[in-house]
A and B are shown apart, each in its own frame.
Chain A
Amino acid sequence: MNCPICGGEHLPAGGRRGRTTSSGGGTCPYKGEAYIGLRAGHDQIYFGRWRRMDATSIDLRRACRQLERLLHEISAALETEDIPAARSDLGKAFEALQTADPGEEGPEALRYMDHALSYAHRVIGDLLHEKGLPPHAPGDFAEWYDAGEVPFREDW
């Protein structure tokens, strides 16, 4: 998956480098992060046009394809990990995506897409937790996207 920020091909594999985010001009904010491809892929969808009021059916179909690709990349990353709960959540993400049906444009499709993306986010969090890292927070990367507002984030 090409990075939505720098256009480069980020590998989905995990690492232990932790965050070294730089907001310098032209620098990819994901550089140095673990599971860089999964994070960037998630955020591309999270901040995507399909969630806007003026989204078209093309935006929705594109988001569906991106989400399917992301779930397959997560699946590949999970192959070497022993996290049964994450496997279960990934299954639910695929199921939700299938139910979303990109041909439909109604609120149900959007809701199922949201569910699939939420499950994907949880699985990425599980992968990061296994590496001892905090969960991925899309809000940390919002400034790099044309994002109107970022949902309130609360940790416990």
Chain B
Amino acid sequence: MIPLERYPKEITLRDDSKVVLRPMIPGDADGLWNFLQQLPEIDKSHFHEDVDRREVVERWAKKLDYETALPILAIRNDRIVGTATLYRNKTGWKQRVGIVRILIAPDQRHLGLGTAMIREIRHLGEKVALNYLLAEVIEEQQAAVRALERMGFEKMVVYRNFVNDRRGHLHNLVVLLHRMSGLEKEMFY
């Protein structure tokens, strides 16, 4: 079980505004839909499904399974302004590798929210004994890349013209890895 007793957690951003962090619940479908509609096209490109279809978002909210995808929401005055999701495999060779995906509303960027979300996911990853966190970011999102690097993620590879946005334009994909503290204590045979 993933430990969630730290939520709801209130944090202060650089502009002294308050944001509450907590896991997503089924009742967040409308808020999440509104949040996703504010995102620029490039931020929507990595989703496996079309987030411009309301039924997709409603299905996500209904079928929450924190063991495979734990979405932490950042809420400011009842409005969702950011999400950080930790994806995990229950079995298989990547069960100790968590995948991180962080989205911040355009008008809430550069206030330290993204960095705070990275800290949250890193903390959760430690608590569920992950060995690595993996983040994939489009190279244009330099602020996100730098924030991940500052938090200990290492740029492993940049794939040139590797992913396409929803209009078919190609972008470079940066893959970053964070080695978790528990890994240093692991025994290898």
- Please indicate the chain B residues that have their CB under 8 angstroms from the CB of A132 in the complex: 9-12
Given the known interface contacts A134-B13, A155-B111, the answer about A84 and B181 at a Cβ–Cβ threshold of 8 Å is yes
| Given A132-B10, A154-B146, A156-B113, 12 extra CB contacts under 8 A | A19-B16, A84-B182, A85-B126, A85-B152, A122-B152, A129-B11, A134-B11, A134-B14, A135-B115, A155-B114, A155-B143, A156-B109
- Please indicate the chain B residues that have their CB under 8 angstroms from the CB of A89 in the complex: 152
Interface residues as binary, A108-133 with B (CB distance below 8 Å gives 1, 0 otherwise): 00000000000000100110010011
- Please indicate the chain B residues that have their CB under 8 angstroms from the CB of A83 in the complex: 123
In the assembly, what is the distance between CA of A135 and CA of B14, in Å?
A: 8
Instruction: Tell whether, in the assembled complex, residue A88 and residue B184 are in contact, meaning their CB atoms are under 8 Å apart.
Output: yes
| CB < 8 Å neighbour of B119 from A18, A129, A137 | A129
- Please indicate the chain B residues that have their CB under 8 angstroms from the CB of A129 in the complex: 11, 116, 119
Whether a CB of chain B sits under 8 angstroms from the CB of A87 is yes
> A residues within 8 Å of B by Cβ?
18-19, 83-85, 87-89, 122, 125-126, 129, 132-135, 137, 154-156
Instruction: Tell whether, in the assembled complex, residue A156 and residue B110 are in contact, meaning their CB atoms are under 8 Å apart.
Output: yes
Instruction: Tell whether, in the assembled complex, residue A85 and residue B147 are in contact, meaning their CB atoms are under 8 Å apart.
Output: no
Instruction: Tell whether, in the assembled complex, residue B147 and residue A156 are in contact, meaning their CB atoms are under 8 Å apart.
Output: yes
> B residues within 8 Å of A by Cβ?
9-14, 16, 104, 109-116, 119, 122-123, 126-127, 143-144, 146-147, 150-152, 180-182, 184
Looking across the interface, which residue of chain A has its beta carbon closest to that of B111?
A155
Instruction: Tell whether, in the assembled complex, residue A156 and residue B114 are in contact, meaning their CB atoms are under 8 Å apart.
Output: yes
Give chain A nearest CB distance to B132 CB in angstroms.
13
Given the known interface contacts A85-B180, A88-B184, A155-B115, the answer about A18 and B12 at a Cβ–Cβ threshold of 8 Å is yes
| CB < 8 Å neighbour of A134 from B112, B122, B152 | B112
Give chain A nearest CB distance to B103 CB in angstroms.
11
Q: 18 A-B contacts, Cβ less than 8 Å apart?
A: A18-B16, A83-B123, A84-B126, A85-B152, A85-B181, A122-B150, A122-B151, A125-B119, A126-B119, A132-B9, A134-B12, A134-B14, A155-B14, A155-B115, A155-B147, A156-B109, A156-B143, A156-B147
In the assembly, what is the distance between CA of A18 and CA of B184, in Å?
A: 35
In the assembly, what is the distance between CA of A155 and CA of B108, in Å?
A: 11
- Please indicate the chain B residues that have their CB under 8 angstroms from the CB of A126 in the complex: 119
Which 6 A-B pairs give the minimum distances between C-beta atoms?
Answer: A88-B181, A156-B114, A156-B147, A84-B126, A155-B112, A156-B143
Give chain A nearest CB distance to B71 CB in angstroms.
19
- Please indicate the chain A residues that have their CB under 8 angstroms from the CB of B111 in the complex: 155
Give chain A nearest CB distance to B66 CB in angstroms.
20
Among B109, B122, B127, B181, the most chain A Cβ lie within 10 Å of the Cβ of B181
